[in-house]
């Protein structure tokens, strides 16, 4: 389609969450000096299921943007934006103000 993202999209996979979150902590330690480059962090850790939306924690302005983005998923019925988000894998970033 010739589409190119306007920003770098980074997908990170690691192990060790159940052993104290060592993967997430190490990644954060290696990249926290660039935190201003992170617009949002996400994790999927609920297993295999039919999603209905996503949980979000961030400013009201950021929530409005997420809600707008979620309208693009209306054809597959994934439109809910829940009021909370958490997770070992993204907790370090969210603690420092990155929406999750």
Catalytic residue among 17, 18, 43, 46: 17
- What residues does 54 pair with on adjacent strands? 81
User: How far apart, in whole angstroms, are the C-alpha atoms of residue 57 and residue 63?
Assistant: 8
17 a catalytic residue: yes
Where in the sequence numbering do the catalytic residues fall?
17
């Amino acid at each position: 389609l010739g589409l190119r993202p306007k920003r770098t999209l980074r997908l990170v996979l690691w192990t060790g969450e159940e052993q104290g979150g060592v993967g997430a902590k190490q990644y954060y330690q290696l990249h926290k000096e660039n935190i201003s480059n992170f617009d949002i962090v996400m994790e999927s850790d609920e297993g295999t299921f039919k999603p209905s939306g996503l949980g979000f924690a961030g400013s009201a302005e950021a929530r409005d943007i997420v809600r707008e983005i979620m309208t693009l998923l209306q054809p597959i019925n994934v439109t809910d934006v829940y009021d909370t988000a958490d997770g070992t894998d993204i907790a370090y970033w969210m603690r420092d103000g990155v929406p999750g």
